[in-house]
Copies of this chain bind each other. A is one copy, B any other.
Amino acid sequence: MTIAIVGIGLIGGSLAITLKENGFAQRIIGVDKNPDNIDKALRRRLIDDALPLAEAVAQADVVILATPVDVIVELAPRLLDLAEQQVIIEVGSTKTAVVEALRQHPRRGRFVAAHPMAGTEYSGPEAAVPNLFDGKCTVLCDTEHSDPDAVETAERLFHSIPMQVVYLDAAAHDVHTAYVSHISHISSFALALTVLAKEKDEDRIFELASGGFSSTVRLAKSSPDMWAPIFRQNRDNVLDVLDEHISQLSRFRSLLIKKDFSAFYQLMEEANAIRKIIS
């Protein structure tokens, strides 16, 4: 099978490595508007060759669209215009905007909205790694609007990695990811700014940073080019979760103010229930 990957960054590049290594793809064509990315992807052998968009689509069986989500919304209709029997799989972090943009498209059936739930705080082809997706979960959205053979191709692709496949409608997906991904990023960005602000007065502060700190702020290294469009598209859900998060923090704050450490203890104990979720 020939796979064209549009956007050879962390996600597109990691899929390229994985699908070539496991034999799902015999040939990977790279498409990227940034010649630097193409150059790096060729040198790292993430892709077999690079082609302009239309030629890549013409030669591919499957096209994976792995750009930032604002570009996905812009390119998805153009890719469907070009598609004949190809399957176009989009792998962005938000879903409502892209399925809305394609709602009336005559070739909507060739399109599959997918979200492989994995990533790191790094970006670009240099950040691509094998095994990024192993054992993780991919969400397929609104599959009733995709042709059965297109869904089946997407399922085979993700199962080959291997990933577990889960089905949600686009709106539910965007709510869920606001909770289990997007808010974590805002929290990290804000924690980083909190500590960086203090660093202006205390230049030795980071000598003491330990594993717990790194763990909670590492997402603050994430690319604004990738994340600004996600927050724009999922703004309403993210705002709901952010309000809830600020209100939870305010509960801890008011217990500190009141020096009510027994209620503070109980809140921490409630939060410990997260143990049943993440191992």
A198, closest chain B residue (CB): B179
Residues 53 to 67 of chain A near chain B (Cβ within 8 Å) = none
Query: In the complex the two chains form, is B244's CB within 8 Å of A209's CB?
Result: no
Taken residue by residue from 204 to 237, chain A's Cβ proximity to chain B (1 for < 8 Å, 0 otherwise) reads as 1111111111111111111010011001100100
Our pick among B218, B246, B264 for the contact of A249 (Cβ within 8 Å) is B246
Say whether B139 contacts A231, CB under 8 Å. Answer: no
Q: Could you say which of A71-79, A104-112, A154-162, A254-262 contacts chain B?
A: A254-262
Q: Which of B180, B205, B241, B270 is the one whose CB lies under 8 Å from A176? A: B205
Interface SS of A by simple majority: helix
C-alpha spacing A210/B197, complex, angstroms: 29
Q: Closest residue of chain B to A173, judged by CB?
A: B208
A44 at the binding interface (Cβ < 8 Å): no
CB neighbours (8 Å) of A166 from chain B are 204, 207-208
Q: Does A196 contact B (CB under 8 A)?
A: yes
A144 contacts the other chain (CB 8 A): no
Number of identical monomers bound together in the oligomeric complex: 2
Contact residues on A (Cβ < 8 Å of other chain), bracket? 35 or more
> In the bound complex, do residue B139 and residue A208 qualify as a contact, i.e. CB atoms below 8 Å apart?
yes
Interfacial chain B residues near A265, Cβ < 8 Å = 224, 228
A118 within 8 A of B: yes
Q: Which of B205, B206, B249 contacts A245 (CB 8 A)?
A: B249
A274 to B206, CA, bound (A): 10
Judge whether B256 and A250 touch: CB under 8 Å. no
Report how far A207 CA is from B137 CA in the complex, Å: 7
Given A265-B228, A271-B220, does the pair A242, B246 have CB atoms closer than 8 Å? no
Inter-chain CA distance A196–B219, complex, in Å, is 21
Spot the interface stretch: A5-13, A14-22, A184-192. A184-192
